[in-house]
Structure 1
Amino acid sequence: MCEALKNAYQLLEEIGRGRFGTIFRAFCPDSDEFVACKIIDKALLTDETDRACLEKEPKIMTLLAPHPNILRIFDVFEDEDSLTIVLELCQSVTLYDRIINRTVSEPEAASLIKQLLSALSHCHHLGVVHRDIKPENVLFDSRNNLKLADFGSAEWLSESGSMEGVVGTPYYVAPEVLLGRDYDEKVDIWSVGVILYIMLSGIPPFYGESATEIFEAVLRGNLRFPTRVFRSVSPAAKDLLRKMICRDASRRLSAEQALRHPWILSGGETNSMD
């Protein structure tokens, strides 16, 4: 372990484990705060792409700071064996844990989606596309504020305003990513739309028994609102969903536009478009 890290932080118990390393709860005597230390084992980075992503992540997070809905980064330590990113400590419960077995009321969903869109509006304004928006990457701090995390797949937009590369998670990935075309920050908005759909209905908009079947359903992009599960969902919420989960990225809302949608502005009040 890096000597400078040992001098600055007291490592406590393990709180998480990923593909490339371990996350520990730690204490910083200087600030009198508990933090999270993500220690990445460089020996596990056999792929150049993985190495590049992990080196890019702290740079992107530093660029994005500070924003109330983006996970804060405090420090980065590196030696021959490891890379350690010191991050804001959040609750162990993610958005995925909160929504996996229940539907969410429209006011609660609107509050969460507004915070997520606010984080993305900030990212997109600075030319950063997250590219892996999913409930598992949405955390909460001790005051229950939403925090967008895991910028390992994030990328800067090119000068032409686009990028390429197939990244993301099956249920949430936008069709233009799967088609291998150049795409832009609107891929994040598609993913947020999918999260909102799941929150309000308890089911994903595009389903399959395997990743391939899910991808095929995403590419068809046939957005439906089954009466059985959408009976009590407001027209305004469905209108926002149609405009976020829109196959034509040029017609899909931006984060800024979505934040100005009547359903978001009304806090999920069901009569917001009457």
Structure 2
Amino acid sequence: MDYPLRQGMLWAGIYRIDEFLGMGSYGQTYRCSDLRDGSTVLLKRAKPSKRATGRRLLKRENDLLRQLAHPQMPRWLDWSKHRRETALVMEYIEGLNVEQAILLQERTYTQLESLRMLQDLLPPLEHLHHAGYVHRDVRIPNVILSGEEIYLIDLGLACRIGEANPDGQERDREAAPSGFADSWGAVKHRMRQPEEASDLYGLGHFFLFLMYAGYIPEEGQTELSWEEELALDPMVKSFVKGLLESRWRSAAECRQQLEKTIHHYSSGNNK
């Protein structure tokens, strides 16, 4: 039922399917050409197997994206009908997501590079929060690196702050992302709460993924906590713990502390 659309197919007589990009819990994404002007766009359709839930979440993402206007988030372009289906069409961001950079290009990141990446992600999160929404899925596949720019994508799980039961009755059986193993259930539960602190919690795990990209355990070493395995500067470690412990209730509060942490670290006070 969820077999991808074939390459070359025309959606609504306007968008030519050029490449199947991937499939998430509720949707499929495609790189397409807009035959009216030759531009490249991203088309997202609901997974047919998700039926009403997939269609509802896609419409919610469409309505949200239309309200937003931030240079680090894709622009809404169209809500397109094709036969009995509808699709969200948005700006296509050229580049690799952070997961691809780590796994395919074997990129590693220093503490300062990772802190600055968090700093770059806070503006689009603040914009989203000010609009009254929370992302709920701040993870390495949803951050794209495009030259010197960084983008936050995929609002498929975003919901209103404080929204009751945002996922309806659907039970999300998505497999654990690489690196989470048995802990993914608890992490996902915390990331999915409809509050701003959930996105800051996601940033904490995002930072740890960047750090573990360059971590090589000693042979035979017993698995330890991230605090024991990663040799982080004490102030950096304290900041990351603050993200994971919901020490700050807003992105603005978090940004202030992050700026202090970056200043401390980059000024040579780190050990």
TM-score range, shorter chain: 0.7 to 0.9
**How many aligned residue pairs are there?**
242
Match of 1:36 among 38, 42, 59: 42
Q: Does 1:24 align with 2:21?
A: no
Shift of 1:53: 0.7
Matches of 2:145 and 2:159, distance apart in 1: 23
Query: What secondary structure sits across from 2:88 in the alignment?
Result: strand
| 1:175-229 CA-partner distances (Å, limit 9, x unpaired) | 597389975221111011111122124389xxxxxxxxxxxxxxxxx96412x53
Relative distance call for 1:3 and 1:97 in structure 2 (3 A) is closer
Relative distance call for 1:179 and 1:197 in structure 2 (3 A) is closer
Query: What secondary structure sits across from 1:104 in the alignment?
Result: coil
Matching residue's letter, 1:50: G
Query: What secondary structure sits across from 1:225 in the alignment?
Result: helix
Do the aligned residues in 2 keep the contact of 1:37 with 1:85 (CA within 8 Å)?
yes
TM-align CA RMSD: 3.7
Q: Does 1:252 align with 2:248?
A: yes
Relative distance call for 1:229 and 1:264 in structure 2 (3 A) is closer
Match of 2:72 among 54, 69, 73: 69
Query: What secondary structure sits across from 1:260 in the alignment?
Result: helix
User: Counterpart in 1 of 2:218?
Assistant: none
User: Counterpart in 1 of 2:266?
Assistant: 269
Shift of 1:103: 3.2
Unaligned 5+ segments in structure 1 are 205-221
Q: Does 1:151 align with 2:155?
A: yes
Matching residue's letter, 2:32: R
Shift of 1:129: 0.9
Relative distance call for 1:265 and 1:174 in structure 2 (3 A) is farther
Unaligned 5+ segments in structure 2 are 216-223
Matches of 1:146 and 1:223, distance apart in 2: 29
Q: Does 1:229 align with 2:230?
A: yes
Matches of 1:134 and 1:70, distance apart in 2: 15
Shift of 1:135: 0.6
Relative distance call for 1:104 and 1:148 in structure 2 (3 A) is same
| 1:243-266 CA-partner distances (Å, limit 9, x unpaired) | 1011xx4x3352112211235653
Do the aligned residues in 2 keep the contact of 1:26 with 1:34 (CA within 8 Å)?
yes
